[in-house]
Structure 1
Amino acid sequence: MDKNTLIMSFGKWVSPINIQKLSELVKEQKQDYYTKKFTTESYIKFLLFAQLHEYESLEEISDALLDEDLQKILGFESISTSQLSRKNNNINPLILSHMFLDLVWKIQHYHMKSEKRMPLKIIDSSTLPLNLTNYQWAKFRQTKAGVKLHLRLVFMDKNAVYPEKAVITTAKEHDRNQLEVLVDDKEAMYVFDRGYVDYERFDRMTDEGYFFVSRLKKNAVIREVHSFSISDDCPVQSDKRVYIGSIQNRTENVFRLLEVKDTKGNFLRLITNRFDLSAEEISDIYRSRWAIELFFKWLKQHVEIKHFYRMSETAIQNQIFLALITYCLNVLIQLEMKSCKSLLRITRWLKRAIWKPSYTWTRKFDERSSPLKNLVVVTLG
């Protein structure tokens, strides 16, 4: 990345991308053979610019090159939609996946400085609907098509979250099939919903030393072993040791079952293999699951994953990873500046100052700062 790019706000924003690692991946994947101007690096910069501005089509992205500053950054004055389409279809998603994970590692580095407690890792998926006529390869119902983003989100507190691992499949892939892929850290507490309930896997996770809390299905059969006493002022209705399942399909381990009320007054049954925490702590841990719902909402509202540029599986995976990279770049500038400003506001400032010197953008972080100026947070909206 040249010096002129780096002094601009756009250059400051994309500077966490490791260009050396990117070049090594490009060479390893033989990605830029016979490429004269539209290299993988310029493709990534261009598509991140498009994600930032939420462009809905390759035509709109191509037209953006009327901007002379963008021409200087990319090194060419025009690109056709057909060239954009070919590049989008030819870039190996593995390259963008590695870029995403490298940015995640940098986010983790910030949190490792201040956080010592066991992190919560929330697992869930979101289905992105597609037109069956154009996306036959993604068919999952008689009249529907779609892809599914399986995600692991790290929850430090209500204002500090970031995506850590992502798997993209067709929508027909069941959530339970991805649980073992997304659970790989014994130093974390996992939180997921009832779509991931699997008695055999719960036993295996417990035997292998993984901790979790999940919502249990209403029709789950339980056999009570012991009931703990609950104080009158406790929001938890009951706290028991139980076996889950019928005689034919029952867990080998004893689990902890809690009954709690949600904000609407409905009863929820929570299952966990943590016995060292209070009932209130387990209930609060499960409530943190809302953060991943907000994250998916943020993605769908503030980057471009509702309108896919092209119809191939490769193109769709690339677009989703670019959206995740965009989010991570926003998080990293927020962490670097130790700002309490929301990601949405930070993005608005960046758009306004994108070709101006980076200090024009970053000095906004200090304006009208709150007494919590030195608190590192990551807000979603």
Structure 2
Amino acid sequence: MAAMFQDKYIFSQLIAFLNRTQFNNYVRKYDGNLYVKYFTYRNQMLAMMFGQLGNRESLRDLKVAFEAHRAKQYYLGLGREPIAKTTLATANQNRDYRIFEDFAFYMMKEACEKRTTNILDISGKKYAFDSITIPLCLATFPWAKFRSKKGGVKAHVLYDIEAQVPAFYNVQYVHRSVLQHLPPRLCLLVFLT
């Protein structure tokens, strides 16, 4: 017999990072919940986040997901009342977007203040390195041949994590080595895959 789930759901763990007090301040600033009975601005934001993170393609698809998780809805942070498609559509159409906009800017500001430099407590420069092959048509770009029937170039980007800007970029033939362009010794490199 499988053990019963004892911890918080992942979605409720994610929304725990959202500053509820700050969000409520923005709602008050624009008189958001003035005539709202049960589907608050917070419920609307969380419902849309649930849809976005769950890769829902429409409000109907989102409604199906809510119905599938109806028993868990309260524990996911979405409230006790069932969320109707028309309620969500009306809220999305008529409610003040500035509340969500201001809160998004607040969250971006918070994220910048707690950026990677505070997480990686390692001396030296920190870089993230990524490469991608960009496919090209051999008929149009015959110089970009890297396989018998394929063409392309390789784009390399070295991103300075602390400064949050690219430190180096290079677009070249696929088989050329880029290692001679990497930063000096005594730095941390993260290779993205």
Please indicate the TM-score interval, normalised by the length of the shorter structure. Answer: 0.5 to 0.7
2:99 matches 1:95:
yes
How far does residue 9 in structure 1 lie from its aligned partner after superposition?
Answer: 2.4
1:1-381 map, 5 Å: 7-66=8-67, 67=69, 68-72=71-75, 73-108=77-112, 109-113=114-118, 114=120, 157=159, 262-264=171-173
Write the distance in 2 (CA, Å) between the matches of 1:83 and 1:64: 15
Preserved CA contact (<8 Å) 1:31 1:40: yes
Distance of aligned partners of 1:79 and 1:189 in 2 relative to their CA distance in 1, 3 Å threshold? closer
Write the distance in 2 (CA, Å) between the matches of 1:378 and 1:17: 30
TM-score (norm 1): 0.31
The CA deviation string for residues 257-295 of structure 1, in whole angstroms up to 9 with x for no partner, is: xxx973238xxxxxxxxxxxxxx97xx79xxxxxxxxxx
Distance of aligned partners of 1:103 and 1:79 in 2 relative to their CA distance in 1, 3 Å threshold? same
How far does residue 40 in structure 1 lie from its aligned partner after superposition?
Answer: 0.7
Three-state SS of the structure 1 residue aligned to 2:14 is: helix
Preserved CA contact (<8 Å) 1:58 1:85: yes
Distance of aligned partners of 1:106 and 1:112 in 2 relative to their CA distance in 1, 3 Å threshold? farther
How far does residue 25 in structure 1 lie from its aligned partner after superposition?
Answer: 0.1
Preserved CA contact (<8 Å) 1:45 1:74: yes
Write the distance in 2 (CA, Å) between the matches of 1:76 and 1:21: 23
Preserved CA contact (<8 Å) 1:50 1:61: yes
How far does residue 107 in structure 1 lie from its aligned partner after superposition?
Answer: 3.0
Preserved CA contact (<8 Å) 1:65 1:71: no
Aligned length: 142
Q: Which amino acid aligns with 2:94?
A: N
The CA deviation string for residues 236-272 of structure 1, in whole angstroms up to 9 with x for no partner, is: xxxxxxxxxxxxxxxxxxxxxxxx973238xxxxxxx
Q: Which amino acid aligns with 1:38?
A: F
Distance of aligned partners of 1:46 and 1:190 in 2 relative to their CA distance in 1, 3 Å threshold? same
How high is the sequence identity, in percent, across the aligned residues?
Answer: 18
Write the distance in 2 (CA, Å) between the matches of 1:49 and 1:77: 16
Write the distance in 1 (CA, Å) between the matches of 2:109 and 2:191: 16
Distance of aligned partners of 1:378 and 1:49 in 2 relative to their CA distance in 1, 3 Å threshold? farther
Write the distance in 2 (CA, Å) between the matches of 1:94 and 1:378: 38
Distance of aligned partners of 1:95 and 1:157 in 2 relative to their CA distance in 1, 3 Å threshold? same
Q: Which gives a bigger RCO, structure 1 or 2 (Cα 8 Å, sep 6+)? A: 1
Q: Which amino acid aligns with 2:73?
A: L
Q: What stretches of structure 1 of length at least 5 have no aligned partner?
A: 1-5, 120-154, 162-187, 192-211, 214-259, 266-279, 286-374
Distance of aligned partners of 1:261 and 1:35 in 2 relative to their CA distance in 1, 3 Å threshold? closer
Q: Which amino acid aligns with 1:263?
A: Q
Three-state SS of the structure 2 residue aligned to 1:74 is: coil
Q: Which amino acid aligns with 1:262?
A: V
Three-state SS of the structure 1 residue aligned to 2:37 is: coil
Write the distance in 2 (CA, Å) between the matches of 1:378 and 1:34: 51
Q: Which amino acid aligns with 2:95?
A: I
How far does residue 64 in structure 1 lie from its aligned partner after superposition?
Answer: 2.1
The CA deviation string for residues 311-355 of structure 1, in whole angstroms up to 9 with x for no partner, is: xxxxxxxxxxxxxxxxxxxxxxxxxxxxxxxxxxxxxxxxxxxxx
Q: What stretches of structure 2 of length at least 5 have no aligned partner?
A: 1-6, 128-156, 175-179
How far does residue 39 in structure 1 lie from its aligned partner after superposition?
Answer: 0.4
Q: Which amino acid aligns with 1:70?
A: Q
Preserved CA contact (<8 Å) 1:37 1:76: no
Write the distance in 2 (CA, Å) between the matches of 1:156 and 1:94: 36
Preserved CA contact (<8 Å) 2:38 2:81: no
The CA deviation string for residues 96-123 of structure 1, in whole angstroms up to 9 with x for no partner, is: 233333333333324242488799xxxx
Q: Which amino acid aligns with 1:157?
A: Y
Write the distance in 2 (CA, Å) between the matches of 1:23 and 1:10: 20
